[in-house]
Structure 1
């Protein structure tokens, strides 16, 4: 039986690349094709940009709300998410423009979730600019700075639960602004905005019950421990957080990939090919992440991501309509990448990847079968376009 035919099965959706593989559209498809009780976000923060296009053309880029929102599926932001109240309010405003009456009624937030502030944003951007030509490719949203502050000063880390306690909220904001040495809006203004935000949302540390879809952010090749350091995110991008939240409850682990390998910003991309011309409706370079780069399908990197993530039950292959036909099966000096989780070892691996070159096999004509064979995991869903109507369940021909 195909993994996607289960009635009340929960799913974990993770990107096995550098991000931008299409996690949002996969979550939207899951919510459109079966009853789903909630979408759970389990890593990252407001820097996520998951594009969902409905068959009628309605489009929204999901950052903190789950990508099932347009299907009426509520969202839970777990304790592993960095919440940005100001960005969440802006996202809610756009959802209201699309016709949702009260987006805030569709979201719950774990009180233990870290909260990003304008002060984190300013400090993070300042840190990135100071790197000069060695910039890491920050999204400029303050997510990494929020996590850094929580590690360095855990007793002063701002969490969602603090936003209902005016005194504690103002104390933490004051210490944060002074310690980071930044400007930004007055503490009183930020505190008022966050108190108003807390009145709109419901805080809950309970995981929703029923059929759940866990929506990951970024990609495994950007993981804080297994990505190519230092061009990584401050977040665990594997299945780990979702499995922790689930406890002993079962779920299908889905890894998402494109038929080619993109990357936003700096860092290794062994198969990069500037001559690749593929239309991108929703991705472009920006001042903080840098250029949106394209490379041919990198089976070496994606096999590494699978191993680092602990394997997947099935794969989703998007962009099957793209005019690509090249797959890298090995590098000139490496056929596989070691999994360590040690940052010094990851930095050494990053440096080595700068000098590796791709080795391509025969031209690919049947992408689902080729990917399943290369990675040893069945491709269970294919996508030929942006909407749920452009997706189809794949059967035996795509088995590993």
Structure 2
């Protein structure tokens, strides 16, 4: 049985450390055969710390790399070859032998280029104080260009055809320059040299690779960003150009002939955080100061790293728009003991009256999502619950608030700091969840 790992918040909940734990070999557990990346691109930042003190921020490589688990970048990924090469160099410096040998890339995956990144930063600068909190890596530009020019958007497979890639990169550069003015990006020939060299060092595969891979044994599908940043269900316009729910992973499983063959694991912190602007109803600046993080801080393009109390309505909304979860992975369970004032927020006060759940709707109505955003920007916390410093009281409280069992508890950054029934594979837990048909849909109180 495969495992799908999705962040139910605004990102930074700890997907990397959860995937690292799932991929760590354990007695009696079937080894994970691959980590499948199914959304986003080089803007991901999944921090993993090993028991011997090594640290890497995983962006495109899967977070099981330290355990030697291969990574597959699916057709739904946006691949940045330059960032991937830099990431491979850092992994090699940390002792991972030949990281690129652990990687396969679907030829159909879209390429993120320096032109996309430069355009992204130019647009964000032009927004001034109305910035969206972009990571500045060109992900939105990659997605937008592929939607506008699907036949001419460069792909990973184009890196093996220099003439085709030259034409596509030239068109891309010229179109973005016409729209935005001169871009701070290298010449086309320099990009060509880098991208064709990339193609010579990685394994490009076709649509038959993933079905074969999934038949070999359990895989972990590693999501990026968080459901509350989803392109359709997030709080517009402070969202990502990516589907951050389970949908992409479920699509890939269905294409591989294995529909609904996975445990759906939602990741949450014991408190709620986000990078940059946008709603964070439970924000408490004292938490940001009291719970500093070595791997999260102010980002040049994203903005400040913000912290708040656990936002039960927002996370329940995330579960509802995902179509449910089979269980939760709760991270940062050491935080309640370090900061005794942490709370669970069960509702909001708004100028229009009390609000204890967020209405989910079919995707596509961005006007509706923006109206919801505006309401959340004026909302204030209400309905406090204080579980105290006992981490088990916290897992009980969060399980109750989200109507889902806690399957993995994390008390620190390494795999050794994890507890719960989930080990190297989720087969037994998945069968238990399927047998009871316990799929949470979020509470409407």
- Gapped runs of 5+ residues in structure 2? 423-437, 441-445
Q: Which residue of 2 aligns with 1:230?
A: 237
For residue 417 of structure 2, the aligned residue among 378, 390, 396 is 390
Q: Which residue of 1 aligns with 2:264?
A: 253
1:53-103 CA deviation, whole Å, 9 max, x = no partner? 111111111000000001000000001110000000000000110112211
Shift of 1:360: 3.3
Q: Which residue of 2 aligns with 1:326?
A: 343
Q: Which residue of 2 aligns with 1:169?
A: 165
Q: Distance in 2 between matches of 1:364 and 1:285?
A: 30
For residue 318 of structure 2, the aligned residue among 295, 305, 313 is 305
For residue 280 of structure 2, the aligned residue among 269, 272, 291 is 269
1:286-323 CA deviation, whole Å, 9 max, x = no partner? 11000000010000000000001111000000000002
Give 3-state SS (helix, strand or coil) of 1:88's partner.
helix
Would you say the 8 A contact 2:346–2:385 is kept in 1? no
Q: Which residue of 2 aligns with 1:368?
A: 395
Q: Distance in 1 between matches of 2:421 and 2:70?
A: 28
Q: Distance in 1 between matches of 2:218 and 2:161?
A: 33
1:242-264 CA deviation, whole Å, 9 max, x = no partner? 01111134100000000000000
Give 3-state SS (helix, strand or coil) of 2:397's partner.
helix
Q: Which residue of 2 aligns with 1:3?
A: none
Give 3-state SS (helix, strand or coil) of 2:20's partner.
helix
For residue 375 of structure 2, the aligned residue among 327, 347, 352 is 352
Would you say the 8 A contact 1:14–1:255 is kept in 2? yes
**Is structure 2 residue 63 aligned with structure 1 residue 67?**
yes
Q: Which residue of 2 aligns with 1:5?
A: none
For residue 292 of structure 1, the aligned residue among 269, 287, 305 is 305
Q: Distance in 1 between matches of 2:130 and 2:162?
A: 40
For residue 2 of structure 2, the aligned residue among 10, 14, 24 is 10
Would you say the 8 A contact 2:345–2:382 is kept in 1? yes
Would you say the 8 A contact 1:326–1:360 is kept in 2? no
**What value does the CA root-mean-square deviation take over the aligned residues?**
1.4
Q: Distance in 1 between matches of 2:55 and 2:285?
A: 29
Structure 1 length as normaliser, TM-score? 0.95
How many residues matched?
A: 390
Deviates more, 1:316-325 or 1:287-296: 316-325
Shift of 1:359: 0.8
Give 3-state SS (helix, strand or coil) of 1:271's partner.
coil
Q: Distance in 1 between matches of 2:383 and 2:414?
A: 31
Q: Which residue of 2 aligns with 1:216?
A: 223
Q: Which residue of 2 aligns with 1:87?
A: 83
Give 3-state SS (helix, strand or coil) of 2:35's partner.
strand
1:295-352 CA deviation, whole Å, 9 max, x = no partner? 1000000000000111100000000000253011011121111112221100000001
Give 3-state SS (helix, strand or coil) of 1:156's partner.
coil
1:374-393 CA deviation, whole Å, 9 max, x = no partner? 11000111000000000000
Q: Distance in 1 between matches of 2:110 and 2:323?
A: 26
1:21–1:279 Cα change, 3 Å: same
Q: Which residue of 1 aligns with 2:404?
A: 377
Would you say the 8 A contact 2:36–2:62 is kept in 1? yes
Give 3-state SS (helix, strand or coil) of 1:213's partner.
strand
- Gapped runs of 5+ residues in structure 1? 1-8
Would you say the 8 A contact 1:382–1:394 is kept in 2? no
**Is structure 2 residue 219 aligned with structure 1 residue 192?**
no
Give 3-state SS (helix, strand or coil) of 1:361's partner.
strand
Q: Distance in 2 between matches of 1:321 and 1:259?
A: 9
Structure 2 length as normaliser, TM-score? 0.86
1:167-199 CA deviation, whole Å, 9 max, x = no partner? 100000011111100432110110110000001
Shift of 1:364: 1.0
For residue 337 of structure 1, the aligned residue among 358, 371, 377 is 358
Would you say the 8 A contact 2:62–2:71 is kept in 1? yes
Would you say the 8 A contact 1:299–1:330 is kept in 2? yes
Shift of 1:394: 5.9
For residue 160 of structure 1, the aligned residue among 156, 163, 176 is 156
Q: Which residue of 2 aligns with 1:45?
A: 41
